[in-house]
Structure 1
Amino acid sequence: MPDQALELSFDPASASSVEAQWEALKAAGLPSQADHRSMTNAPHVTLVAAVEVAPEVVSAARVAIAPLLPARIEVRGLVLFGQGPRVTIAHLVEPDRMLAAAVERIRAMVPALRHPVWTPHVTVARRVPRRLLPQALEVLHATETPQELGCDRLRWWDPAQDLIEDVATVR
């Protein structure tokens, strides 16, 4: 079963810029997040992922993060995750100090984090065979890379209940 998660979602312009890269990879016949058809698949930054994110953590995230929205996060370059024959390609992103501090406070409330060290990123493609990395990177370098992304929603995902809930939204 996939983890529950707290995520920051993007404003329409920011989401479109990431989705354009997904589509460019797909059009080139390469692995892409555009291939992932789940209703949960939207450009985002995962703040917390764990088997369970308790309701009090969700409430605390609403209190800590909602006042910081909308937030701008800077795109710092591409990063590769993974070992073995396949990797994930993502944009490494940097939130401002206040948002980063709020996320760290929320993460400290979750005892069984999937990834104990937070590396803020936006996934572009998963399970990319290493032999296709040169082509994937060429496609990504040929597309417009956003310099910053606007976060306008905090959402909670509970796959067991097939639930995605906006915890905080900029109106």
Structure 2
Amino acid sequence: MLTMEDIIRDGHPTLREVAKEVSLPPSNEDIQTLKSMLEYVKNSQDAEIAKKYELRSGIGLAAPQINISKKMIAIHVKDEAGTQHSYTLFNPKIVSHSIEQSYLSSGEGCLSVDEAIPGYVPRYARITVKGIALDGTEVKLRLKGLLAIVFQHEIDHLNGIMFYDRIDKNNPLKPIDNAVPIDR
């Protein structure tokens, strides 16, 4: 079981690397790693388990955050309508996106960043992501709202980008022009 001890913190060089593609079909080790990443995210949202194991709550995790520089992400989050979504993907990539942008009105956080960094993070309002599921099948997802934001945050990790890199340094809380605020 992954714990907070397994998550590397801001400043660690792996967080700034471009992760490598996962060889397909994925190895048993890669499959187990991805399963344990999803298990961490799910456990971190369960109040009893999170307290017992001192887990910080998260909705997504990318392999570089556990010091594995491979393109793997796990996401477990409820959308704006309260519907639960769980995804595990190898080699996810954004294949198309809207011109329209969105952002989390509360700002973004990260399991690898201990302090709160205020500011709006511009993201695409709608994206299409392709990747490989745990069973080796290709998946194509059309996402919007919170789900689109979470996927962009995790895919950024695979490219060595941290969420705060996207915040306007001069005016972090300036509303983003023509962007839809997403409440969480």
**Structure 2 length-normalised TM:** 0.25
Q: Which structure has more RCO (C-alpha within 8 Å, separation ≥ 6)?
A: 1
Structure whose residues are more often helix by fraction: 1
**Structure 1 length-normalised TM:** 0.27
